[in-house]
Amino acid sequence: TLIPILHQKAKRGTPHQAKQAIHCIHAIFNNKEVQLAQIFEPLSRSLNADVPEQLITPLVSLGHISMLAPDQFASPMKSIVANFIVKDLLMNDRVC
């Protein structure tokens, strides 16, 4: 079916593929809340500041999920922004 392909693109595709996969899930499926949660939860747990090249696609997916379903994901996204983006990414010095 289409669901595994869209999930894979949302998790490990290019940023553009991730965006399109999230928007397809939101537009096509009746159980979009469940589908989006199945992507949001593992991505939010797997964010790793030590591997910056693997952050863009997950952050794109998380951002679009939050934008399309703000009532469901506002609280967990606030936690990601405060604890991961601000604390782990922005407040730490990194050697490039």
Instruction: Give 43's pLDDT tier (boundaries 50, 70, 90).
Output: very high
Q: How large is the C-alpha radius of gyration of the chain?
A: 13
pLDDT at residue 39 above 90?
yes
**Cα–Cα distance for residue pair 83/61, rounded to 1 Å:** 18
Confidence of residue 95 (pLDDT cuts 50, 70, 90): low
From residue 29, how far is each of 6, 32, 48 by CA, in Å? 11, 5, 30
Domain ranges of the chain: 2-90
Contact present, 25 and 35 (Cβ < 8 Å): yes
pLDDT averaged over the chain? Answer: 91
Tokens 């990601």 locate to: 80
H helices of the chain, in order, are 2-12, 15-28, 32-46, 56-68, 70-80
